[in-house]
Amino acid sequence: MEQNDALYWSPRGGNNYKDFWGSCHAFTSKQTNKDTGVVETDTILVDLGQHEQTRDYENGRFDKVVPALDDIIEIPGFPEPDPEKKCKALFVSHGHSDHIGAISTYVSMGAKLPPIYCSKMSANLIMKDFIEKGIDEAKWPEIKEINAGDTITVGNLKVRTMAASHSIPGAFSFKISNDSASIFHTGDTKGDPSSFLGNGVNFDDYKKIAEQGPIDLMTFDGTTAANNGHATYESEVKGAYSTLIKRHSDKQLIMPMPAAHAERIATIISAAAENGKDVIINGGPVMDSTIVGLQMSGYDLQKLNPNIRIVGANSEEAKKLDPKKTITITTGIYGESNAPMTQFCNGDKSAINIEKDAVIITPLIGSRSERLAQLLAKCPDTKDLITYTSKDLSTLYGSGHAQRDDFIKIAGILKPKAVTTCHASTKLANRFINMASELGYATLGRQIRNAETVKVTAQGCEVIPNEKKNWFGWEKNGEDKKPEKFHDDYGTVESCRKEIEKAKKAYFERQTLNKLMKNAMVNFSKNMGGR
């Protein structure tokens, strides 16, 4: 093996200073051809997302921010990239816009995108973006559907797909390897084996991957990885809903939730089916779009739950159903002005049918969702209704990202030689580093910043610093202009070290507090038992 032969990973978005939006990761194989002696270079991307909170940059002067990839993708108006550096394939982990939203931006710019490999669900959401932007079908890039278990070869790179569990079906983790090394890129996952759309994580598949050879680096979903416990599984969420449905089986049930949470809609419908309740979908067009997207991708909720009826609120069938035998899934969890629940609370009683003794079940969590709580409390028609939130039953809420126990489980199977974060801010990455170190895993010492590169070989990882401008930004109404390039301000290496120390201290303080609380609980239980 030659000196430069290695697998290189470079985050190009999502490993930001303040947040984790705009996911994009480049993986490059450099491998010397044994016959010719020529070093062959193959680059692929995983995800091409847009930044969801552009106000985080340059005092919010940009309206749109996406990863700047002019060094590996041919874009009109930019110097043509070195042919050997051009990206040969784009893999998509899942169909959320912070992972796919920049694809349509690049197509609109006239960029020559490589073939896109993704699940049918992701493909449909990418196409939805093209449709929404009015991009002529003839200009759409080639999209190749892939499934969990597939291995795709791109030059000297092999990409093996595995089912990931997130809040949307058709999500993947990837093992990316060449002759020099292997990287396991989790994408967004919570390591949940349960899914009511049939796409949970298959740990047997992880075991197979582990048996095939060592993982030299794992880039792990860092969003909530350092939080104690495990992510709430869909089976637990279903259990919570099912308990409440049983408790109020003779009442109309109203369930506000986020409109695009495809997995959760399926979970709630599954709980409804378990209890023989028909379902009315009254969440407005974004929720309709989620359901149609699922249908389009082979997830027909009606076929999955044949013992109940699932109907749109505008349908004739919905009007014929006895409200007390139904669950209405709706939106308005954040008090959005167009959502049916909000409109109802603001006086438009035609927006949604709510009986006088209906029961509201909703995963209200965090300050934003307090708006709905306030609206419900103020509205004369809802203020006296029985309402359950995550405060009453915590498993009504569950995020789509792994926590500490999920990391322990996944890393325990894959046994990576080193771990680091993807999809994490500097702060979240620091928390993860401390947790992983405490658990005995080698880390790369600090967050790998956008545009930096890690050279990975069987012998270890080497960080190659880089502060090149990694983002494209467009000001409002300037999307037809050439974008400006800029970079995250991560601070100095010294300030980074201080941040890690600070996070370390906070982490150990929290762990100590948790241990103390646990001991206190154990003692309390013992004392209670002794009475």
Partner 1 sequence: MALYIQIAEKLEKKFPKTDLIGISDNDLINLIASVGEKYESSTDWLYKLKMAWTTVRSQGDNNSELDAFI
Interacting residues toward partner 1 by CB under 8 A? 52-53, 96-98, 124, 127-128, 131-132, 134, 136, 167, 188, 223, 258-261, 281, 283-289, 291-293, 295-296, 310-315, 317, 331, 333-334, 336-339, 366, 368, 399-401
**Cβ pair 390, 399 in contact under 8 A:** no
Buried b (16+ CB within 10 A) or exposed e, 465-493: eeeeebbbbbeeeeeeeebbebbbebeee
Min dist. Cβ of residue 166 to partner 1 (A): 9
- Least Å distance, CB 140 to partner 1, is 11
Cβ-based nearer residue to partner 1, 114 or 258: 258
Cβ proximity to partner 1, 98 vs 406, nearer residue: 98
Give the C-alpha separation, 93 to 111, whole Å: 21
Q: 33 or 338, CB closer to partner 1?
A: 338
Q: How far is the CB of 317 from partner 1 (least distance, A)?
A: 7
**Which two tokens mark 348?**
């438009």
What's the closest the beta carbon of residue 338 comes to partner 1, in angstroms?
A: 5
The residue type at 343: Q
Shortest Å distance, C-beta 420 to partner 1: 21
Residue whose CB is less far from partner 1, 154 or 273:
273
3-state secondary structure of 319: helix
Nearest to 450 by CA among 1, 15, 100: 15
Task: Quickly tell me which residue has 């993986």 as its tokens.
Answer: 27
Q: Residue 131 in 3-state DSSP? A: helix
Alpha-carbon gap, residue 517 to 522, rounded angstroms = 9
- Residue type present at position 137: E
Nearest residue (CB) to partner 1, 87 versus 121: 121
Q: How far is the CB of 210 from partner 1 (least distance, A)?
A: 29
Minimum gap (Å) between residue 365 Cβ and partner 1? 9
> Which of 51, 61, 64, 49 has the alpha carbon at shortest distance from 17?
51
d(CA 377, CA 489): 43
Smallest separation (angstroms) from partner 1 to the CB of 132:
5
CA distances from 277 to 248, 251, 273, 315, 469 (A): 11, 10, 6, 17, 54
For residue 162, the minimal CB distance to partner 1 (Å) is 20
The residue among 53, 64, 8 whose CA lies nearest residue 31 is 8
Nearest CB to partner 1, comparing residues 335 and 416: 335
Residue 505 beta carbon to partner 1: minimum distance, rounded to whole angstroms: 26
Nearer to partner 1, 70 or 288 (CB): 288
Q: Which is nearer to partner 1, 269 or 414 (CB)?
A: 269
Give how far the C-alpha of residue 257 lies from the chain's centroid of Cα atoms, to the nearest Å: 17
Q: Which is nearer to partner 1, 95 or 473 (CB)?
A: 95
The distance of closest approach from Cβ of residue 500 to partner 1 in the complex, given in angstroms and rounded to an integer, is: 24
Residue closer to partner 1 by CB (options 394, 399) is: 399
Of 68 and 281, which CB lies nearer to partner 1 in the complex structure? 281
Nearer Cβ to partner 1, position 137 or 494? 137
Rounded CA-CA distance 369/390 in Å is 11
Tokens of 9: 């990973």
Structure tokens at 295: 């249908």
DSSP per residue, 14-57: S--SS---S-EEEEEEEEE-TTT-PEEEEEEEE-----S-GGGS
- Amino acid, res. 404: R
Distance of CA 304 to the CA centre of its chain: 24
Spatial distance between the Cα atoms of 514 and 292, rounded to a whole number of angstroms: 44
For residues 13 and 1, what is the distance between their CA atoms, to the nearest angstrom? Answer: 31
Our CB check for partner 1 shows the closer of 222 and 416 to be 222
Q: Which residues contact 378 (CB under 8 A, 6 or more apart)?
A: 345
Q: In whole angstroms, how close is the CB of 314 to partner 1 at the nearest point?
A: 4
> Is there a contact between 426 and 452 (Cβ–Cβ < 8 Å)?
no
In the complex, the smallest distance separating the C-beta of residue 186 from partner 1, rounded to whole angstroms, is 15
Instruction: Retrieve residue 62's tokens.
Output: 């940009």
Interacting residues of 68 by C-beta distance below 8 A, sequence separation 6+? 12, 469, 470, 471, 472, 483, 485
Distant-in-sequence, close-in-space partners of 284: CB < 8 Å, separation ≥ 6 = 259, 331, 338, 339, 340
- The token pair that represents 483 in the structure block: 């974008």
